[in-house]
Structure 1
Amino acid sequence: MLQMRYLTYLDALARERHFARAANVCHVTQPTLSAGIKQLEDTFGVLIVERGQSYQQLTAEGEQVLAWARRMLADYDSLVQSLHDSRTQLEGQLRLGVIPTALPIVRCLSTQFVEHYPHASLSIQSCTSDAIQQGIDDFGFDAGITYLDNEPLNRVRRYPLYRERYFLVGPPAVKLTHTDSIDWQAAASYRLCLLTQDMQNRRILDARFDEVGVKPAHRMETDSLTTLLSHVRYGGWYSILPGASLSLLTGGSPLSIVPLPTLITDPLIGLIASARDPLPPVTHALFSLAGERDWQQEIEPPTLTT
């Protein structure tokens, strides 16, 4: 007989790509997990997992079963939440993927969520926009906060939050030549520490520089916003940051911050979730709360210091 826990075993195995780790995630022994996978193979009459001395990969048929299993698990969780919420308060875990440059602002939404729904929990993971799309597709995330209009998004519903505005940020006690604003050509001349090119933020900045025909003088890149800010504050580097990230610059000596030109093409940041209906109750609740704030006002930077 097909049991939901066997689908959970398969989902965990596909994510972990290792039998022992998948068993640990599912809080079962490895023989129990292997027996569950074997039961799925017997039920469908196909080989789902290619095995050697260890996990190798899913078969083509296994990938089909996995996609179906993830839909089933998502629908099951949504149904359980709906049935429970009709009798009591909202429960369950909301899994949220967030691009790094939006992490400083997500606290406004996450705090509001747990205050409104004290019996629900929230898991926030920092990842690239591509990973958020993948997480929505394979039901690893219930929702994401990412760019809405710069690179294609597929099979998602969207809720716009704010447009990203950019600033040149320099080390403390440095008087920038441009005090009121700075153009992209001039910003390219500074010694820049930027995010890595797998980040959509970096690809957006590169496109801005390409539009004005210059190459930035960056000599360092990182996939960590914390590392980037550390180099600016303590290492004498400069960077270009969105307004939402400036809230992380409080404390210590004031940094030099100068706005870059605002364009009508400045990227739009927003919430996404699967386009499938109905939305799980926890995801629907998050979208409802998002409509209660002026997000553009939330990301207005602190008083600029030069």
Structure 2
Amino acid sequence: MHLPTLRQLQFLCALADEKSFSRAADVCNVTQPTLSSAIKEVEAILGVQLVEREARGASLTRAGEETVERARAILSSAADLVSAAHQAGAPLTGPFHLGAIPTLAPYLLPRTLSALRSGHPELKLYLREDQTDRLIEGLRNRTLDAALIALPWASSGIETETLGDDEFLFIAPKGHKLSRSKKLSPEDLNGEDVLLLEDGHCLRDHAIAACALSPSASPSNISATSLATLVQMVAGGLGISLVPKIAAEAGLGAGADLNVRQFDQPLIGRQIGIAWRAGSPREAEARMIGKSVKKTLAARA
């Protein structure tokens, strides 16, 4: 029986994603005629049309959609085979795809990765910074091997390990009444304009939960896309906010005209954790990376 090759299945999946022969060829780093010929060969092997060729692109037939779904599973299994073989030979060697949320990546990874590189010189780490939902999807579709996220975060088919706590600090423009008050508790934020990150960032939800804020606490027309922008908005007098202590310790807000202080009782706003796909052959390596992150967190304390 003549079977499609893994490379041909990769071409088909790329075409399904890009919906264009030219873009799919670019993604696969081949010429368009090469990719088109490979797709025709798969159709000939299977004896069914998989792709509707259109003037402005390409779309899958019903048979094509089912074939792509099965092709993705086959490619994922092949990737798992390679990963398992690498791990059996020596852990943390070769490529490893690690994701991290934007409120952790720039503040936690530099020191962690330096230690990993020293201990595992054969490790080739590929980093992806993104919001939690997309990182979890990357774990599910096997484009990521592990991801550093904020917990709690429940998701079916995903396993996590808690690595440490992250305290939230209060920030406000210099001169703000809460900057000068002798005592500070989360309840003091009610009634204030609390600036938060935009929807989609888990830090927004954790900040609201940590201080039991009303959803209306944040001005409806003001939100930030990053912690750096958030800090500058606070320094500009637009409101107050919360920032992770790990970010403040890494220099976030340094030089800005604002006040940063702890709450009277340390406000643990979230836990830092590492996540991986349940059943992944890279679980042991994910835990090893988590252990390195845990050491970095312990060194901070």
TM-score scaled by structure 2?
A: 0.80
- Counterparts of 1:76 and 1:82, CA distance in 2: 10
- 1:170 is paired with a residue whose SS is strand
- The Cα of 1:143 is off from its aligned counterpart by 1.2
- The Cα of 1:196 is off from its aligned counterpart by 0.8
Cα-to-partner distance string for 1:91-118 (whole Å, 9 max, x where unaligned): 4322222112121213333333333222
Query: Which has the larger displacement, 94-103 or 36-45?
Result: 36-45
- Counterparts of 2:236 and 2:102, CA distance in 1: 21
- Counterparts of 2:62 and 2:117, CA distance in 1: 41
Report the counterpart of residue 271 of structure 2 in structure 1.
268
- The Cα of 1:155 is off from its aligned counterpart by 0.6
Counterpart of 2:14 in structure 1: which amino acid? A
Q: Could you say if the C-alpha distance between residues 109 and 64 of structure 1 is closer, same or farther in structure 2, counting changes exceeding 3 Å? A: farther
Task: Verify the 8 A CA contact 2:166 2:270 in the aligned structure 1.
Answer: yes
Report the counterpart of residue 112 of structure 2 in structure 1.
109
Query: Which has the larger displacement, 290-299 or 141-150?
Result: 290-299
Residues 132-281 of structure 1 correspond to what in structure 2 (within 5 A)? 132-150=135-153, 152-171=154-173, 176-183=179-186, 185-208=187-210, 211=212, 213=214, 215-218=216-219, 219-233=221-235, 237-246=239-248, 247-249=250-252, 251-252=254-255, 255-260=258-263, 262=266, 266-277=269-280, 279-280=281-282
The reply to whether residue 290 of structure 1 matches residue 290 of structure 2 is yes
% of aligned pairs identical? 26
Aligned pair partner of 1:7 in 6, 9, 13: 9
Cα-to-partner distance string for 1:163-215 (whole Å, 9 max, x where unaligned): 332222224676713355332x4324444432111222212333455x45573
Task: Verify the 8 A CA contact 2:169 2:267 in the aligned structure 1.
Answer: no
Cα-to-partner distance string for 1:226-273 (whole Å, 9 max, x where unaligned): 322333446665322122222232642574112345568x43331111
- The Cα of 1:8 is off from its aligned counterpart by 2.1
- The Cα of 1:70 is off from its aligned counterpart by 3.0
- The Cα of 1:135 is off from its aligned counterpart by 1.0
- 1:93 is paired with a residue whose SS is strand
- Counterparts of 2:174 and 2:128, CA distance in 1: 31
- 1:35 is paired with a residue whose SS is helix
Q: Could you say if the C-alpha distance between residues 222 and 138 of structure 1 is closer, same or farther in structure 2, counting changes exceeding 3 Å? A: same
- Counterparts of 1:239 and 1:291, CA distance in 2: 31
Q: Could you say if the C-alpha distance between residues 75 and 250 of structure 1 is closer, same or farther in structure 2, counting changes exceeding 3 Å? A: same
- 2:96 is paired with a residue whose SS is strand
Q: Could you say if the C-alpha distance between residues 250 and 32 of structure 1 is closer, same or farther in structure 2, counting changes exceeding 3 Å? A: same
Cα-to-partner distance string for 1:64-94 (whole Å, 9 max, x where unaligned): 4334333333332343344456667854322
Uncovered stretches (5+) of structure 2, i.e. residues with no partner = none
Task: Verify the 8 A CA contact 1:173 1:254 in the aligned structure 2.
Answer: no
- The Cα of 1:62 is off from its aligned counterpart by 3.7
Report the counterpart of residue 123 of structure 1 in structure 2.
126
- Counterparts of 1:105 and 1:73, CA distance in 2: 32
Counterpart of 1:287 in structure 2: which amino acid? R
The reply to whether residue 32 of structure 1 matches residue 2 of structure 2 is no
- The Cα of 1:220 is off from its aligned counterpart by 1.6
Task: Verify the 8 A CA contact 2:208 2:214 in the aligned structure 1.
Answer: no
- Counterparts of 1:263 and 1:142, CA distance in 2: 31
TM-score scaled by structure 1?
A: 0.79
- Counterparts of 2:213 and 2:237, CA distance in 1: 28
Report the counterpart of residue 22 of structure 2 in structure 1.
20
Task: Verify the 8 A CA contact 2:168 2:267 in the aligned structure 1.
Answer: no
Uncovered stretches (5+) of structure 1, i.e. residues with no partner = 301-306
- Counterparts of 1:47 and 1:178, CA distance in 2: 72
- The Cα of 1:17 is off from its aligned counterpart by 4.2
- Counterparts of 2:202 and 2:165, CA distance in 1: 14
Length, aligned pairs only:
293
Structural RMSD (CA): 3.2
- Counterparts of 2:161 and 2:60, CA distance in 1: 35
Task: Verify the 8 A CA contact 1:243 1:299 in the aligned structure 2.
Answer: no
